[in-house]
Structure 1
Amino acid sequence: MSDHDDKQPENDPQLADKIKDSARQIWLAGLGAFTKAEEDTGKLFDRLVQEGEQLETRTRGAVEKQIRTVEDRVGEVRERATGTWDRLEHMFDQRVSGALRRLGIHRREEIESLEHRIEALESELARLRGDAEANDEEE
């Protein structure tokens, strides 16, 4: 029985050494894989950061371009709206002035002009009266 026990795999010293060597190689391969993965992760992280920066730069440029486009369009719309508003205001003024004229109501400028003419006539009348009074006293 002892011959038979020596041939059992559990009792084979070479087999035990082979298993130990295999286990050690597996362990070392695992450590190597872990180290490689750690190195690759660092490189991958750096590469991802670099790609992110490039994407941010491209995106920022596109966003700024879109902002400029929107600002230009807003400016154009504002100019058109201002022009339209000015035309509308001018039309409104003309129509109100026409309606007031038809009703016999004069514009402020016309009234002020008439006031100046009245003042000039009053001055002239006062001067003429003064001349007439002076002539009456002389006689």
Structure 2
Amino acid sequence: MSDEKSPKPETDAQLAARIKGSARQIWLAGLGAYTKAEEDTGRFFERLVQEGEQLESKTRGVVGKQIKSVEDRVEGVRERATGTWDKLENMFDERVSGALRRLGIHRREEIEALERRIEILETELNLIRNRSGSDEEE
């Protein structure tokens, strides 16, 4: 009974043909997988490029806003520092001027004004001398 129900043993040629067929199917499946992967890779690469472009445009906007924010803050700090420096400079000038006045040292403007007054007085004095000299000759 066991002989009737047991499958017939394959011949070497049949076994070789089955192995060859299986190997060919494996080879063809590999080629198909390679082709599919190549197609998917192209589409996947294109999708990655598109997503990268979208991300780049989003980040440019965000980075641009951050840069503008930092520039605005720097400008604000610069203006405050300049204002503070100007106040400090004016206060220093006032203190130095006050100290010089207390020491009896006059400012340049005061000295120049005095020089102009002296020139005017010298001119008037010369006019008076010239008149009195011409009055004596008469």
TM-score class, shorter-chain normalisation, is 0.7 to 0.9
For residues 17 and 119 of structure 2, what CA distance do their matches in structure 1 show? 132
Q: Hey, what does 1:3 align to over in structure 2? A: none
Cα 1:11–1:133 change in 2 (3 A) is closer
Q: Report the identity percentage.
A: 71
Which runs of 5 or more residues in structure 2 are unaligned? 1-7
For residues 78 and 109 of structure 1, what CA distance do their matches in structure 2 show? 33
| Aligned-CA RMSD value | 1.8
Q: Hey, what does 1:66 align to over in structure 2? A: 66
Q: Hey, what does 1:77 align to over in structure 2? A: 77
For residues 47 and 67 of structure 1, what CA distance do their matches in structure 2 show? 30
**Matched ranges for 1:59-138 at <5 A:** 59-138=59-138
Cα 1:11–1:118 change in 2 (3 A) is closer
The offset of 1:42, in angstroms, is: 0.9
Which runs of 5 or more residues in structure 1 are unaligned? 1-6
SS in 2 for 1:9: coil
Write the deviation string for residues 31-90 of structure 1: whole angstroms up to 9, x where unpaired: 211111111111111111111111111112211111111111111111111111111111
The offset of 1:21, in angstroms, is: 3.5
TM-score (norm 1): 0.84
For residues 48 and 66 of structure 1, what CA distance do their matches in structure 2 show? 26
Write the deviation string for residues 82-105 of structure 1: whole angstroms up to 9, x where unpaired: 111111111011000000000000
